[in-house]
Amino acid sequence: MATLKRTTSAIQNFITSMNKSGGYARTSKYAVVITPPTSLAQLASERIEPVVEGGRFEQGFPSSPANPNASTMQSLYKQLGQQVNLHCNTVSMPGHDLQAQDMKHGSAPGRQIVTSHDYAGTINASFYLDSHMRERHFFEMWQKMAVSTTTHKANYYDDYIGTMEIFQLDGQGEITYGIKATEVYPTTMAGIEYAYANSNQIATQAVSFEYRQWYNMTADTIAGYKGVNLFDLEFKRYGI
């Protein structure tokens, strides 16, 4: 009887604990907000004047865009930004590493002392593709913001870095946790496998994103985000 009482008490404590915390976080309840370079409007308007020998600007010749793909990327973001976010069918929330080295004093056992930290790896995501594969085109153009496929020259780092926010949602679609990754860009866009046998399968595009670091928005900066409904947040972002 004593064992049964202890077991019943443990189950009741577990149920009470889960009710208090609002239940488990489910990996199917999430949302992603991807923002390409914030300087798109500026890049689209900036022009580079042609230069002749001696470093003088050549008069009478047309200038060229600072980044030729900025206008197209800006237009795509206005048209497809919300669609790309909604069509993200898988995403990996990034981790965080503490880096340590072994320290010994005499013959005593060593200690692992933390010396630095890092945000290793990439953020992997995949996206449902519409019939025109607009999501793939969106990431193709973003990559062209980083390096030209015609001149094969790399552009300035600030020209192609954006941000990515990943949110945990509860059963009502409200934000309960969120992280923001900074200096994000799509480093790898995977190929797509076709097969006649896949007649009922939706095409997806896998993308790996490089980033510099991330921070906990719930704890650091978005006390106001906690409990916010994702759809209200999306409408606010896109001016709906």
Kindly report, residue by residue over 178-220, the tens digit of the pLDDT. 999 999 999 999 999 999 998 899 999 999 999 999 999 876 5
Q: What is the mean pLDDT of residues 165-178?
A: 89
| Per-residue model confidence (pLDDT) at position 204 | 96
Q: Rounded to an integer, what distance in angstroms lies between the CA atom of residue 156 and that of residue 162?
A: 13
Model confidence pLDDT, tens digit, residues 13-39? 666 666 666 678 899 999 999 998 877
pTM listed for this prediction: 0.77
For 178, what's the count of Cα atoms within 13 Å in the CB-facing half-sphere?
28
More confident residue, 160 or 120: 160
Residues 47-81 have pLDDT tens digits of 544 545 555 545 544 444 567 778 888 888 888 88
Distance CA 27, CA 48 (A): 47
SS3 160: coil
Taking a C-beta distance cutoff of 8 angstroms, is the pair 80, 127 a contact?
Answer: no
**Mean pLDDT (the chain, rounded):** 80
> What are the distances in angstroms from CA 140 to CA 26, 68, 146, 148, 207?
32, 14, 10, 11, 10
| β-bridge mates for residue 180, sequence order | 165, 215
Lowest mean pLDDT among 50-59, 111-120, 168-177, 187-196: 50-59
pLDDT at 235 over 80: no
Strand partners, 47: 65
**What does the pLDDT read at residue 47?**
52
Residues with Cβ within 8 Å of residue 190, at least 6 apart in sequence:
205, 206, 207, 208
How many residues are given for the chain? 240
Residue 103: other Cβ atoms inside 10 A:
10
pLDDT above 80 for 111: yes
CA–CA distance, 169 with 29 (Å, rounded to integer): 5
Q: How far is CA 205 from each of CA 69, 80, 186, 209, rounded to the nearest angstrom?
A: 21, 15, 12, 13
User: 24-40+68-237 maps to which CATH number?
Assistant: 2.30.110
